[in-house]
Chains A and B, each alone.
Chain A
């Protein structure tokens, strides 16, 4: 079993999965928060843009988004995310487009998770914040968002777990993560396919189980007691 892990570089594949998940998690959290603020803002045009973003990205299959990033934006429009001179141009470019696709897709879910967090806050708080003279930005920053994040821990954790597993989709554009290595394993060692499956499944459980446990712990601890 260890030979198999070594031969098909499964450890580095899982490291790639972790990197993809980590970068995409951070970027999608930032983008998702911005989109959520847009949807909550009193400005109509921002609301529509935010709603359009969520509707479009949330309802498009992830594979399609990732392939579009590679074949469409990189291939047709020739937008490189790495230097063409670099000797690792393709690896970097693919990785960055994969992160871009994953982040764009999951930002829609982060946005909706945050909005659900906002819904846990009594309306009176927003009204009180405005009535003591806080601007929209101030009330968001000081009153609404801190509570929204605490109320949205569970759905955000779910998005993170889904994101981690969804990273396997980017094998479609040749990023050497877990699903990609497993494909190689299936091609060259058909006899050991089931062992490969088991190792990969176990690996994902090891990655996602602590996330779920941490989410439950934090959501109990950080929830705003009302």
Chain B
């Protein structure tokens, strides 16, 4: 028992080491290079999805997808090089909190601009207008929500998309999972008949190698989702980002990004709503 104070000291010392290790790691991230035009900040932390193929996906230690490419292109226009950008996962339910507490500087994560969200954060953009659509198996005869009567439809827990369909077609049955991957897996098993959410998200899944030729996006979007760049209300970057987004559409970069990331399954953005008109949602 006489060694107890020693042990306690050892434990405390170890704890302190762990804590300081965390601290210095954060410091390292912040200290990466000085920024030429970011209001005195060093580097840029951007929130993206880590689990959405085609849009924001962490694969190994790389980040790929449309949101990632747009984020990098915007960051470049704001004067940040690729090395200065740190990506952070921002799951749907945590996006507002992450912005309000400044854990991230901006969020590119299929973040639809809505009035409820605007109470807590501000939005630059929209940079893309998606629409709710259906993903079905390649040989399915479903051509729109009206064919869903008596069918099994899948979406994620707590999403508006499935509720919308349910209101229109009361005969449809809803299966909800934590992620779209589970829905798409069940769809390719044939257990359920359709998956619904924004068309570009569905296209991202259909473009995956595993599902090549098995799934198709119906291509009759029945809503408008304006994807914006989420920002803290205090942020001064909003208008600059709008300018950057407009430029990206004008010089064709956006089309290229969309084609590269979600084009594989024959998906093209809805021409009636795109290019998106950026602006009007800044605080």
Chain B contact residue count (CB 8 A cutoff): 25
Instruction: Give chain B residues whose Cβ lies under 8 Å from the Cβ of A88.
Output: 173
Contact, CB under 8 Å: A75 / B173: no
- Chain A nearest CB from B230 CB (Å) reads 12
Contact, CB under 8 Å: B120 / A190: yes
Contact, CB under 8 Å: A191 / B191: no
- Chain A nearest CB from B180 CB (Å) reads 13
Residue B182 at the chain A interface, CB threshold 8 Å? yes
Contact, CB under 8 Å: B92 / A71: no
- Chain B nearest CB from A189 CB (Å) reads 7
Contact, CB under 8 Å: A187 / B93: yes
Q: How far is A139 from B92 in the complex, measured between Cα atoms in Å? A: 57
Q: How far is A71 from B92 in the complex, measured between Cα atoms in Å? A: 23
Q: How far is A171 from B96 in the complex, measured between Cα atoms in Å? A: 22
Instruction: Give chain A residues whose Cβ lies under 8 Å from the Cβ of B176.
Output: 174, 180
How many residue pairs, one in A and one in B, have C-beta atoms under 8 Å apart?
62
- Chain B nearest CB from A93 CB (Å) reads 9
Q: Interface 1/0s, chain A 163-193, versus B by CB < 8 A?
A: 0000000011110000010011111111101
Q: A172's closest neighbor in chain B, by CB?
A: B178
Pick the residue among B120, B157, B185 that contacts A191 (CB under 8 A).
Answer: B120
Near A by CB (< 8 A), chain B positions 28-44 give none
Residue B116 at the chain A interface, CB threshold 8 Å? yes
Contact, CB under 8 Å: A186 / B189: no
Instruction: Give chain A residues whose Cβ lies under 8 Å from the Cβ of B189.
Output: 75-76
- Chain A nearest CB from B80 CB (Å) reads 28
Instruction: Give chain A residues whose Cβ lies under 8 Å from the Cβ of B160.
Output: 187-188
Residue A74 at the chain B interface, CB threshold 8 Å? yes
- Chain B nearest CB from A193 CB (Å) reads 8
Instruction: Give chain A residues whose Cβ lies under 8 Å from the Cβ of B152.
Output: 89-90
Residue A59 at the chain B interface, CB threshold 8 Å? no
Contact, CB under 8 Å: A187 / B120: no
Residue A147 at the chain B interface, CB threshold 8 Å? no
> For B96, B182, B185, which residue has the most chain A Cβ atoms within 10 angstroms?
B182
Q: B188's closest neighbor in chain A, by CB?
A: A75
A74-B191, A89-B173 are known contacts. Are A191 and B119 too (CB-CB below 8 A)? Answer: yes
Contact, CB under 8 Å: B116 / A190: yes
Instruction: Give chain B residues whose Cβ lies under 8 Å from the Cβ of A173.
Output: 177
Residue A94 at the chain B interface, CB threshold 8 Å? yes
Residue A87 at the chain B interface, CB threshold 8 Å? yes
Q: B179's closest neighbor in chain A, by CB?
A: A172
A76-B189, A180-B176 given. 17 additional CB < 8 A pairs?
A70-B177, A71-B186, A74-B191, A75-B185, A75-B191, A94-B175, A171-B157, A174-B177, A180-B157, A180-B158, A184-B157, A187-B93, A187-B158, A187-B160, A188-B160, A191-B119, A193-B97
List 28 A–B pairs whose Cβ atoms lie within 8 Å, in order of A's numbering: A71-B185, A71-B186, A74-B191, A76-B189, A88-B173, A89-B173, A90-B152, A90-B173, A91-B173, A171-B157, A171-B178, A172-B177, A174-B175, A174-B177, A180-B158, A183-B93, A186-B93, A186-B158, A187-B93, A187-B159, A187-B160, A188-B158, A188-B160, A189-B116, A190-B97, A190-B116, A190-B120, A191-B116
